[in-house]
Amino acid sequence: MHPLPEPASLPSLLLSSGGWRPEWGRTQAGGMSQPSGMGPPWNQERSPEGRLPTEPGGRWSTVRGVLIAGLLFSVLLGFSVLLVYVFRSCGPSPCRTPACWDLLARYLASGNTSVAPCTDFFSFACGKAKGTDYSFQALAKENTDRLRKILETPDSWHLGSGEEKAFQFYKSCMDTGAIEAAGAAPLKHVIEELGGWRISGNWTSLDFNRTLSLLMSQYGYFPFFRAYLQPRPTPPYTPIIQIVREYLAYLYQLGTLLGGDPTKVQEHAFLSISITSQLFHFVKPLEQRRAQGKLFHMVTIDQLQEMAPAIDWLSCLQATFTPMSLSPSQLLMVHDLEYLKNMSQLVEEQLSKHRDFLQSHMILGLVRTLSPALDSKFQEAHRSLIQKLGELTERPAMPARPRWMKCVEETGAFFEPTLAALFVREAFSPSTRSAAMELFTAIKDALLSRLRRIPWMDEKTRKEAQNRVTQLQVKMGAPEWVLEPSLARQEYKDIQLGPNYLQSFLSCVRSLRARIVQSFLPSFLYHRWQVSPWGVNAYYSISDHVVVFPAGLLQPPFFHPGYPRAVNFGAAGSIMAHELLHIFHQLLLPRGCPACDTRALQGALLCLKRHYAAIPLPSGTSFNESQTFLENAADVGGLAIALQAYSKRLLWHRGETVLPNLDLSPQQLFFRSYAQAMCREPDTQEPHDPHSPPTLRVHGPLSNTPAFARHFHCPRGALMNPSSRCQLW
């Protein structure tokens, strides 16, 4: 257990009640020195005409004393007023811009100031927040609303440009009247292209692998497994194909909506569910595969062909990942190899006995996948399925989403480069980007400084860590290439919109898959972003050694150029530092840093584990410490680095502001802003979320920070001022 050293305290310029007060102000307030050679005016030589008569009994002496006292009082009063003005002008002034008033309203609406901050700071900052009104999810919704406004108020565009196609697609998606009028006809046309099925009495038996290849390449549907591109998890990080199973579910209504005979529909649906059930039983739980050290296998296409011969792997994968050139020696990363072997055996059995049932199984799965692009009857059937599955798993039903939200998401997925340029133009100006880069530079400098003082690092590891930070690339806002105006007119030449929404949707699916594959080719020179520019998730890419902060994250209430610096450093700055620390997460794993002081490192990690375990959680809340410890370490270190960067900024820059009427000092506002970014209902923890519950994400790092207890005057032993703390970063 290592006590965390107190951050360098600010000079005595700061007073808790009056703001900044320079030391020279105190000495000047104690008295005024007289300019040399100038005495009081009543002692200067006067002409006889200027002298006043002296009355007997010292009357003139008394008058003179009164005049002198009055003069001194006036001088001192005036100088005192001047000092007050100087002191106030040097201290933090309230920010009264529209952005600050809006932020103040958010803070007042979410916080519960009746709770003592030293006892429960999460409730102090987030006690009134309900749902996702004041969290990352709320910001994501605001960004989606902004995209909707962009799509519903289009500017002028070039004919045939990407912008025109994006707006046309969104309009087609929102035209529910045309979709309802088309009914099931567009989907029946798709089924005919696949050879039909026996449910409707019109079926041409095509080659199984040809049908599978069409489903994967032309419709983006994988009935037995999913294949996608991803960089290798270890150097040299070249792209490889990953394969995992996909769970299928069906509804009897789908076949009848397509005009199938009810008896045949029931029979085919039952056997399809039977196939799905058998596939499900082939899957080994993730925990079991992890314990056996079999999370994935590296095999070539030739080797997989021998182990799972029912699938023509080379032809199916080549069709899916064109224009990549695949060969039998192409490496694949296979998740759950035993599943693929058993799946292949099941397919062979069905092909020999029930080829028509296998065809129906694949088409039913495709129909379910395409149901969001179909009329309301198909969508209602899909919603009913989701509701029943929720009842079986005792999960609360998801509320129905408005049509515009679905259409915005689909337009964003298919036309991301175009919408990225439009979003950045409206929400992330060059001045905002410049301010964000300035903040990031301050955070990175603080990290470099902190690396010099980490006790468990040996000198070689320390220098390597500093080099890693220095060589890091940062991407801010949106990918560089999507902001080039010429590309907006050249994109999406392969997309053909019409004659109905389903055909437009499928054309967009094919175009998107082709662009994804293209981004993995050597000719693509840019980092492949894993989030949309309007997204709210920052990340660090190990393969490209790049940290990404999308424009959607660097928005109010987390960041604004006009905010007090305390807000930007506390919210966005902590997030930036958190992501930077992921560069070193391998060092924290067992045997991740053989040359380091293992005893000191393990002691710090154990201290942090005990620190989090000692913090009480709301009733019914739980978390997996082994699953969250890397994120906990990044939370604690991110806050410490952001605070160090902010303290340095306070020392070297004047003009700090605070939020009006909030009665928080700059440092208190820093901590409040950090907590505000974590506001969420305490019991909204996803099962596989690598982060701790929101109460721990607030109380864990803040209670490990001595400056928090000092600035909020927390008594020793309070929740937010424990008797011991940990030093990891």
Which of the residues are catalytic? Answer: 579, 635
Cβ proximity of 383 and 400 under 8 Å? yes
CA proximity to 107, closest of 85, 129, 74: 129
Instruction: Please tell me the distance from the alpha carbon of residue 116 to that of residue 125, in angstroms, as a whole number.
Output: 10
At 231 the three-state DSSP class reads strand
Residue found under tokens 């502001």: 657
At 429 the three-state DSSP class reads coil
Query: In angstroms, how far is CA 264 from the centroid of its own chain?
Result: 48
**DSSP bridge pairs for 239:** 231
Instruction: Please tell me the distance from the alpha carbon of residue 557 to that of residue 640, in angstroms, as a whole number.
Output: 21
Write phi, then psi, for 490 (nearest 5 degrees).
Answer: -95, -15
C-alpha distance from residue 680 to each of 126, 619, 625, 675 (Å): 7, 15, 20, 10
Half-sphere exposure of 463 (CA within 13 A, CB side): 3
| Length of the chain measured in residues | 729
The answer for 254, left when phi > 0, alpha when psi is -120 to 50, beta otherwise, is alpha
Query: In angstroms, how far is CA 292 from the centroid of its own chain?
Result: 32
Tokens (6 digits) for 297: 């296998």
Which run of H or of E encompasses 370?
A: helix 355-370
Cβ within 8 Å of residue 204, ≥6 positions away: 195, 196
Instruction: Please tell me the distance from the alpha carbon of residue 179 to that of residue 201, in angstroms, as a whole number.
Output: 26
Cβ proximity of 374 and 184 under 8 Å? yes
CA proximity to 331, closest of 269, 245, 238: 238
Tokens (6 digits) for 279: 């596939």
At 649 the three-state DSSP class reads helix
At 657 the three-state DSSP class reads strand
Work out the number of other CB atoms within 10 angstroms of the CB of residue 204.
10
